[in-house]
Each structure stands twice: as C-alpha cells, then as structure tokens.
Amino acid sequence: MKDLVEYFRNWSFERQKIIRLVESGRLSEDEQMSVLNMVFVIDRIGPSDLEPME
C-alpha cells in the first residue's frame, strides 16, 4: 500500500486477513485483543475522515 487512502479502499480485504490471523491461534490473547482493538478503530474511519483538513 502506498498510502492511507489506498489502505482504506482495500480495508475489507485487509480486515479479512487480520481476522483470519486472529482466528488462527498464532497470537497470544493479549496480541489478539490489541489487533481486534485496532480493527474496531479502523472500522470507524469513513471517507470524510480522509479528506484534507482546512
């Protein structure tokens, strides 16, 4: 990904990869919680959040 906007546009695909990682059992419970908290935050970002600030 070259920037945040591109990452946002691909979020649904990236989100699926992250959830699969959490469900794989390769992360500790603490790591799982950290990753799921990041998903929680990113899920709340919308297109208007990515517009340049005036």
CA 2 to centroid of chain Cα atoms? 15
Instruction: Report the pLDDT value the prediction gives residue 45, as an integer from 0 to 100.
Output: 86
Instruction: Report the pLDDT value the prediction gives residue 3, as an integer from 0 to 100.
Output: 82
Domain residue limits at 21: 4-43
Query: Would you say residue 29 lies in a domain?
Result: yes
Q: How far apart are CA 2 and CA 4, in angstroms?
A: 7
Instruction: Report the pLDDT value the prediction gives residue 1, as an integer from 0 to 100.
Output: 64
Query: Would you say residue 52 lies in a domain?
Result: no
Q: What is the pLDDT of residues 1-54, one digit of tens each?
A: 678 888 888 999 999 999 999 999 999 999 999 999 999 999 998 878 877 777
Query: Would you say residue 48 lies in a domain?
Result: no
Instruction: Report the pLDDT value the prediction gives residue 26, as an integer from 0 to 100.
Output: 98
Q: How many domains does the chain have?
A: 1
